Structure 1
Amino acid sequence: MSRLLCTLLLGLLALNVSAQSLTASVDRTRLDAGESVELTLESDDATLFGKPDLLPLNDLFEVLGTRQVNRLTTGSNGAQASTRWIVTLQPKHSGYVVIPPLSLGQLQSAPITLHVQQGNSAADSRLAPVFIDASLDQESVYVQAQTVLTLRIYHSVSLYDDSSLTPLDMPQARVEALGEPRTYEKDINGVRHGVIELRYAIFPQESGELLIPAQAFTATAVDRSSSNAYNPFGPRPGKVVRVRSPEIPLTVKAKPASYPADAPWLPAQALTLSEVWSPQPEDARVGDSLTRSLLLEVQGLASAQLPPLPATQVSGLRRYPDQPQLTNQASDNGLIGSREEREALVANREGLIVLPAVEVLWWNTKTDQLERSSLPARDLQVAANPALDTLPVEAERPDSIAISTSALWPWQLSTGLLSLTTLLGFTLWWRARRQPAVTPNQQTGPSPRNLLDDLKRSCLANDSQATRHALDAWARQQPETLADMAARFTPLSEALDGLNGALYSESGQHWQGRNLWLAIRSLPAVEDLEGSANIDTSALPPLYPR
């Protein structure tokens, strides 16, 4: 018994240890020689005390400072405590430097690789208390292509929090900020400087020479030599510092003459085109909705610059597109724009349907040549839908039984009907002379007026599902099918397309039923209709025309 209890305790202890973790992360993985980086170690084990062992860092890094932050968060699993250790490091060597695994009790973090680049000696020679360094990642770009402007503000003195920077105003270019400003430290000729780094993606809109304007940085430097005591309600002891960044010329090249004139201009560093289906196209059936998502992801362009993808216009498929989703993501190489287009495809016939290939032309700014990214053509083998083929036709046409019965014994029925109608005619004529009015027969089931009122209420309430059921019930009492009515009246056909789009597309909640109701009210009457005996009782339900 004691051995079993010890085994259970050891298992619970091992499970608790495995549930805890020591995660390591840095604020950036690329930095220049002499700059500092912040390493964050986090543990969610509240039973651990002390701090991580930082001795493995001494060989490759100089530890500039360490601080501890304790947090308590409340979620669905109750209160949860975590501890963070923020360590400021400065690499001792350039190149690829690895932060080794660090230990805290029985927990150990994963290694992290840093890329330390050799610093610019010309920039390091400036030893002013506050100065700005501005640089572009390339000196010439194509029109509408991306160039990245990096702005670094160095200060060797303490600054108050009232600093400001003029906005980057360029009417001839589109400017996108790449993330939030980053702060770190850098050692320049033995003097430690604080650094504020800002990055912008610039897209020139005109070819020729473009001048990146200077930006002014204003701040109040702390004056520690002042003999006056600090008054929190009085002026801050210090002096106002104002510095300007250098102006940078940029050469903007025109679109190459070899680029196709009818294709949208897409100068990018990389481009990917992909598609996702839900459900899989191999399971396509008549009347079922297939959702196709096309994703265009471009490195070096904003999402607003990406053109629409070719629409799926194929005979045998109805297309109901959604609004495109545009997103931007900042990376070390600039902006990554993406455009996602989703559409619902509904097959209205069975058999083979071929979707054409999707191709996007773009200019590779790295290799300086034309590229083609495409998705291959796809064959859709649409199967019959048993749910549509087995629909009860008798429920839609109550008079079909009478029609079938009348076709069995034509001569017996015709003789009987002739006798009955003759006798009934004389009887009604005799009674009409004696009675002032004829009592109407009681109608079983909903009247055409009630069905029309139900259809009106559901249309004006913009309820696509209720409108579909009310439309089916109303159409069953009409002398022709809904497909025939739509074929001879264009407004009704367009309104039915809108209703189908609401039923199959994800944007169905925005459907407006007023147009459908107006089309129903404006539907012209059928001339010279010879009764309901000629109605095609083999037609499919109104919302699935063949």
Structure 2
Amino acid sequence: MSVPTQAGDLTSTVDRNKIGIDETVNLRVRYSGDKSGGQPDFELLEQDFDILSRQQSNQYRVINGRAESFVEWMLALAPKREGKLFIPSLHYKGQVSDAVPVTVAEAQSGPNGGNKQAFLEVILDKEKVYVQEQLLVKVRLYTTIGLHDIATEPLQVAGAHAEKVDEQRYERKLEGVSHAVYEVTYAVFPDSSGQLSIPALTYVAIAGRRDPFSLFNRNSQRLRLRSQAKTVEVLPKPAKFTGSQWLPAASLGIVQSWSQDPENFAVGEPITRILTVRAEGLRAAQLPPLPRLNAEGLKTYPDQPQQEDQVGPNGVTGSRIETTAIVATKPGDYQLPPISVTWWDTKTQRQRTTQLPAFRFSVSGTAALTPSDSRAEESGAPSATPTISQTRKESHFWRNLAILAIISHLFWVMYIYSQRRNFRQKKAEEDTLIPDLQRETSALKNSLTGGNPVRIQQATLKWIHAKWPYTDGDNLSEATQKLHLKELGELQGILDAAIYQSPAEPLNIERASELIESLLNTQIRPESQSSGDALPTLFS
């Protein structure tokens, strides 16, 4: 029933004097007079009400031969609190309206809230949660009438991270009555233990059919629905948990994959290892980094880890993806160590450990020969000392005689080889190194023509062995560590990025040429040629 109050030519009326905290009230303000323009100061209403909408119309009509004109403002108001409130007196063109009382009662937002046409319901999937554990909050809007233009208020929880993960529409019967349900699911992750408050949410919607020929849509009604606040107890991390990082999840797994068949490992050829940690009920930002791979004979080039969050009706599933390029420097059998992650199972309320088993593989191919190996091959020296298999004989005499003969023969062979090696080493010391160094210098310069990083790398290593013969090492990395040359270290980084990095970085041939030219002009004596007993220089 409309309750008008007259104050000159300015009147205020409301459609209801008693409402719930989750409902709205329509205020009509009318001014009858000659002057027009402007509007009353409606900011006074915002002390106790939220102004949801505001409309204005100018009308002129003739009733029983009497003409009248007026301007009207229609406002939809939502109360901010319960109790007895007042729509304050408004001022316009020197006229003042009377205050209008409005009584606001407690909301009954639930399935048992009587025969309400629309209400909100909040459902929590757990009564207690651990700190950083996922809590699912479902907000359901039930209605038996047509609703449109639904405006939802986002969930914001103090002391927790909250995000919307799902939205659904379906039908449900309550006490034999069909209701249309609009459900929104939020995932909440509390930051600390204690009491966590889920605040009340406010939804605003239009009920009924909109009439385009009605100035104030009298066939529709604006509803303001408010949910009930909830409180959840947040438990601290259990004292019996022994993991290095607290990970409360519904499930956690580790998956390993390769860019190609790991059975085809070969020396110098890169292969990419992809490790994925996926946890249900955890965000990707909560997942820890995996241990770095460090194995002798393997070079690793890790990429930046990727983090992904997938959302759905069951909340958040976080994934951490770590990609590493692996290059073997020598053949053989390798074993990658197992990877273990300890976490807390929120379903069974116990500690669990997920482990990726150790991975074994073989690398084929041959490693680069060291200078000592090359000299050994040139001299024809045997690569291994032959073993002597002895057979027991009945006659100890013949057995002992055979052993003495073999030992004597071995001594003579070893003596001949030692004399030949000494002769060749003495001859090599007498010969000048200039012809070999010139040949390797020319080969190094020619390798820059094609811009092939592998060819440049090999030519650089051979030039180093010719320049400093006492520098051993079968790869450029070992030579860089022993020579301590800044230019060589930078050149190695450029070549490694072009050869091993995935995707390969284009070779900066201009910079590589500058570094090689600087190396060719280097005249210093590297530390690797100094005596092994000398101490390193204190200041360089």
Q: TM-score, normalised by structure 2?
A: 0.55
Answer yes or no: is 1:219 the counterpart of 2:205: yes
Query: In the TM superposition, what is the alpha-carbon distance from 1:222 to its structure 2 partner?
Result: 2.0
Helix, strand or coil for the counterpart of 1:500?
helix
Q: Is the Cα–Cα contact under 8 Å of residues 131 and 243 in structure 1 kept in the other structure?
A: yes
Helix, strand or coil for the counterpart of 1:282?
helix
* Closer/same/farther in 2, CA of residues 525 and 218 from structure 1, 3 Å limit: same
1:357 paired residue among 321, 335, 338: 338
Tell me the matched-pair count.
348
1:372 paired residue among 353, 361, 365: 353
- The within-5 A match list for 1:20-35 is none
Answer yes or no: is 1:172 the counterpart of 2:159: yes
Helix, strand or coil for the counterpart of 1:160?
strand
Q: Is the Cα–Cα contact under 8 Å of residues 321 and 505 in structure 1 kept in the other structure?
A: no
Query: In the TM superposition, what is the alpha-carbon distance from 1:178 to its structure 2 partner?
Result: 1.3
In 1, Cα distance between the equivalents of 2:507 and 2:199?
Answer: 49
* Closer/same/farther in 2, CA of residues 268 and 514 from structure 1, 3 Å limit: farther
1:527 paired residue among 524, 528, 538: 524
- The within-5 A match list for 1:105-504 is 123=111, 126-161=114-149, 163-179=150-166, 181-222=167-208, 230-231=212-213, 234-237=215-218, 238-260=220-242, 263-385=244-366, 480=467, 484=479, 487-489=482-484, 491=486, 492-493=488-489, 496-497=492-493, 499-504=495-500
The residue type equivalent to 2:124 in the other structure is L
- The within-5 A match list for 1:35-74 is none
Deviations 1:111-157 (A, max 9, x none): xxxxxxxxxxx725543222110111001111111111111111222
Helix, strand or coil for the counterpart of 1:304?
helix
Query: In the TM superposition, what is the alpha-carbon distance from 1:330 to its structure 2 partner?
Result: 2.7
Query: In the TM superposition, what is the alpha-carbon distance from 1:496 to its structure 2 partner?
Result: 2.2
Alignment correspondent of 1:46: none
* Closer/same/farther in 2, CA of residues 522 and 258 from structure 1, 3 Å limit: farther
In 1, Cα distance between the equivalents of 2:321 and 2:525?
Answer: 52
Q: Is the Cα–Cα contact under 8 Å of residues 451 and 474 in structure 1 kept in the other structure?
A: no
* Closer/same/farther in 2, CA of residues 153 and 378 from structure 1, 3 Å limit: same
Q: Is the Cα–Cα contact under 8 Å of residues 269 and 327 in structure 2 kept in the other structure?
A: yes
Structure 2: give runs of 5+ residues left out of the alignment. 1-109, 375-422, 433-437, 469-475, 530-540
Query: In the TM superposition, what is the alpha-carbon distance from 1:324 to its structure 2 partner?
Result: 2.0
Q: Is the Cα–Cα contact under 8 Å of residues 185 and 313 in structure 2 kept in the other structure?
A: no
Q: Is the Cα–Cα contact under 8 Å of residues 322 and 507 in structure 1 kept in the other structure?
A: no
The residue type equivalent to 1:361 in the other structure is T
Deviations 1:375-401 (A, max 9, x none): 222333322249x78xxxx9xxxxxxx
Q: Is the Cα–Cα contact under 8 Å of residues 154 and 196 in structure 1 kept in the other structure?
A: yes
Q: Is the Cα–Cα contact under 8 Å of residues 268 and 365 in structure 1 kept in the other structure?
A: yes
Alignment correspondent of 1:119: none
Deviations 1:458-500 (A, max 9, x none): 9xxxxxx755556666777675485535632364436624642
In 1, Cα distance between the equivalents of 2:362 and 2:511?
Answer: 35
Q: CA RMSD in A?
A: 4.2
2:502 paired residue among 488, 502, 506: 506
Deviations 1:54-98 (A, max 9, x none): xxxxxxxxxxxxxxxxxxxxxxxxxxxxxxxxxxxxxxxxxxxxx
Helix, strand or coil for the counterpart of 1:123?
coil
The residue type equivalent to 2:182 in the other structure is I
Q: Is the Cα–Cα contact under 8 Å of residues 453 and 507 in structure 2 kept in the other structure?
A: no
Query: In the TM superposition, what is the alpha-carbon distance from 1:282 to its structure 2 partner?
Result: 3.2
* Closer/same/farther in 2, CA of residues 353 and 329 from structure 1, 3 Å limit: same
In 1, Cα distance between the equivalents of 2:133 and 2:511?
Answer: 45
Alignment correspondent of 1:399: none
* Closer/same/farther in 2, CA of residues 130 and 212 from structure 1, 3 Å limit: same
Structure 1: give runs of 5+ residues left out of the alignment. 1-121, 395-406, 418-442, 459-464, 535-546
In 2, Cα distance between the equivalents of 1:247 and 1:517?
Answer: 71
* Closer/same/farther in 2, CA of residues 243 and 480 from structure 1, 3 Å limit: farther
Helix, strand or coil for the counterpart of 1:493?
helix
In 2, Cα distance between the equivalents of 1:367 and 1:246?
Answer: 30
Alignment correspondent of 1:81: none
The residue type equivalent to 1:243 in the other structure is L
In 2, Cα distance between the equivalents of 1:144 and 1:514?
Answer: 53
Percent identity (aligned): 32
In 1, Cα distance between the equivalents of 2:270 and 2:504?
Answer: 13
Q: Is the Cα–Cα contact under 8 Å of residues 301 and 336 in structure 1 kept in the other structure?
A: yes
In 1, Cα distance between the equivalents of 2:157 and 2:442?
Answer: 69
The residue type equivalent to 1:527 in the other structure is I
The residue type equivalent to 2:523 in the other structure is V
In 2, Cα distance between the equivalents of 1:290 and 1:511?
Answer: 20
Q: TM-score, normalised by structure 1?
A: 0.55
Q: Is the Cα–Cα contact under 8 Å of residues 320 and 501 in structure 1 kept in the other structure?
A: no
Helix, strand or coil for the counterpart of 1:251?
strand
